[in-house]
Amino acid sequence: MGLVKDFLDLNYSYEKPLLLGFSGGSDSSVLLHLLLDIRSKKPFPLHLAHIDHGWREESHNQALDLKKLAESLNLPFHSIRLKKYDGINLEEEARKQRFIFFKKIYREYQCEALLLAHQNQDQSETVFKRLLEGSHWTNMQGIKSMSTYDGMIVWRPLLKMRKKDIEKVIEEKQLQVIRDSTNLDARFLRSRMRLSLFPYLEAQFGKNFNNNIDRLSLTIQEFNRYFDNKLSKYLKQSSKGPLGVFLDLNELEEPIEIEFVVKSFFQNNDLVLSATELSTIVYLIHSHSTNKTMTIKNRMVGIDRRHLFLFNDLPISEKNREIIYDKKVLTGLWSGELTQNTGNESVDWKKLWISDVEVKIPSNIEWMGFFPDHCDEKQREILNKWWSKHKIPAFLRQKVPILGSGNKVLHEFLTGKSLSITSSQRVFLLRINK
């Protein structure tokens, strides 16, 4: 009991409900037993959530038995029987479905945390599996005792408990547990690892095999904490706006630091990079590459002079030049209008990236369009030289409007510099249509 009680005393308010993922197997049964023991001395609300995957004929009756157990303990019991689904990775799909159900109960009862009964052997299996699958080194930390998933706080208080100690509790307390036959099903990778691979490796390398993997996991967790503490400030400096997100990495020199920040940057934006994608981006940033683009999960990524850009999936702008009529103009993603406000002398792409801008422009502006479609050959050459002089990435030049009169471009929004000299000016508000 001490392991779980110490965990709860350190982290739990003993006020809001806890939600226990309860399969009725050995691990979750032991965790329930320990929670009930603590609860008898210090009461707290506890809910049980059970998922019947429908993989075994007897699973339906077992779910009913667990419901009766919960009723005898006066505990709220929530269960669902999943529809059968096909696919190569049944384990991963089952995991997704479990968490969808957990989240529903978690939110409905405003739980403080979801408790899962992973133990030390689960940790070893996870780390070893990720190692052989070629996961990034940051993922070798395995399962955390405290984490978050899709807005839920997830606790795993048994993570340091060995499997043999769990079986000892079952024997001493004579707990009735479900022995899931799918744990012996060779269709599942974890079953093959438990039945064949791990016993073989233990025979070859000794009984400390699991402990060695556990130490690797703890070491990686320490590395992750170190890098996170040192480098998280750079991630906080990212700028997010209607165009997407960009990050300035000029202060980072070491490739491993760039790699950690880049991986975290994409994860924060719901993208997981392949090993090749990650190494390519790190190389391009570290080598100060200019005007490089690639596509990841249908989203454009730009790299220029140690700036990293992740563009939103933006609509294509109109190909026709739009006339500024009645002081307003609309072209695809962008809209603009003449205003009576003061305006700014200098607005560059960094300011435009995060918000609407008001800027002083020549008074004889007639239209809003885009480079290069709305420029003749001479104007394209002038603009390219101008933007190259001011180090504007090529992939930005076609995304932001230009303003002109007749066949001449008179204003652009990327450099913050004046493209034409005129004493007569008006103020123009440019915004992205949300």
Correct CATH for 2-216 of 3.40.50.2300, 3.40.50.1970, 3.40.50.620, 3.20.20.70: 3.40.50.620
Given this model, what pLDDT does residue 65 score? Answer: 92
Given this model, what pLDDT does residue 133 score? Answer: 85
Q: In sequence order, what are the residues at sequence separation of 6 or more whose Cβ sits closer than 8 angstroms to the Cβ of residue 413?
A: 347, 348, 349, 352, 357, 359, 400, 401, 402, 430
Answer yes or no: are the C-beta atoms of 332 and 430 closer than 8 Å.
no
Could you tell me the two tokens for 212?
């060695």
Q: Residue 390 CA to chain centroid, in angstroms?
A: 34
Taken in order 410, 412, 418, 424, the sign of the CA dihedral is: positive
Answer yes or no: are the C-beta atoms of 411 and 425 closer than 8 Å.
no
Could you tell me the two tokens for 188?
């599942």
Q: Can you give the residue ranges of every domain in the chain?
A: 2-216, 237-311, 322-432
237-311: what fold?
Answer: 3.30.465
Three-class DSSP category at 97:
helix
Q: Which stretches in the chain have pLDDT values below 70? A: 1, 85-89, 180-187, 207, 314-321, 323-327, 331-332, 343-345, 421-424, 434
DSSP for 388-415 reads HHTT--HHHHTTS-EEEETTEEEEESSB
Distance in angstroms (rounded) separating the CA atoms of residues 25 and 55: 15
Find residue 114's DSSP bridge partners: 19, 154
Distance in angstroms (rounded) separating the CA atoms of residues 75 and 79: 13
Distance in angstroms (rounded) separating the CA atoms of residues 162 and 118: 10
Given this model, what pLDDT does residue 424 score? Answer: 65
Supply the pTM of this predicted model: 0.76
